[in-house]
Amino acid sequence: MNTAARVLALLAERGETLAAAESLTGGLVAAELTSVPGASQTFRGSVTAYATTLKRDVLRVDGTLLEQRGAVDPEVAGQMAIGVRDVLGAAWGIATTGVAGPEPQDGQPVGTVYVAVAGPGREVKVAALRLNGDRAEIRRESVRRVLELLSGELHENVRTKDTEHNGGT
Contact at 8 Å (CB) between 127 and 145?
yes
- Picking from 37, 10, 34, 38, the residue whose alpha carbon sits closest to that of residue 119 is 10
* pLDDT (tens digit per residue) in 116-145: 999 998 889 999 999 999 999 999 999 999
Distance CA 61, CA 97 (A): 12
1 pLDDT above the threshold of 80: no
Distance CA 86, CA 103 (A): 32
Contact at 8 Å (CB) between 88 and 44?
yes
Distance CA 58, CA 107 (A): 24
User: Given pLDDT bands bounded at 50, 70 and 90, which one contains residue 169?
Assistant: very low
Distance CA 143, CA 166 (A): 35
Residue 108 DSSP code: B
Residue 102, C-beta contacts closer than 8 angstroms, at least 6 positions apart? 110, 135
- Picking from 129, 123, 28, the residue whose alpha carbon sits closest to that of residue 74 is 129
| Whole-number pLDDT of residue 167 | 46
* pTM summary value: 0.93
| Whole-number pLDDT of residue 168 | 45
Residue 105 DSSP code: B
* pLDDT (tens digit per residue) in 61-97: 999 999 999 999 999 999 999 999 999 999 999 999 9
Structural domains of the chain ordered from first start: 3-165 (3.90.950.20)
User: Given pLDDT bands bounded at 50, 70 and 90, which one contains residue 160?
Assistant: low
| Whole-number pLDDT of residue 121 | 84
| Whole-number pLDDT of residue 158 | 63
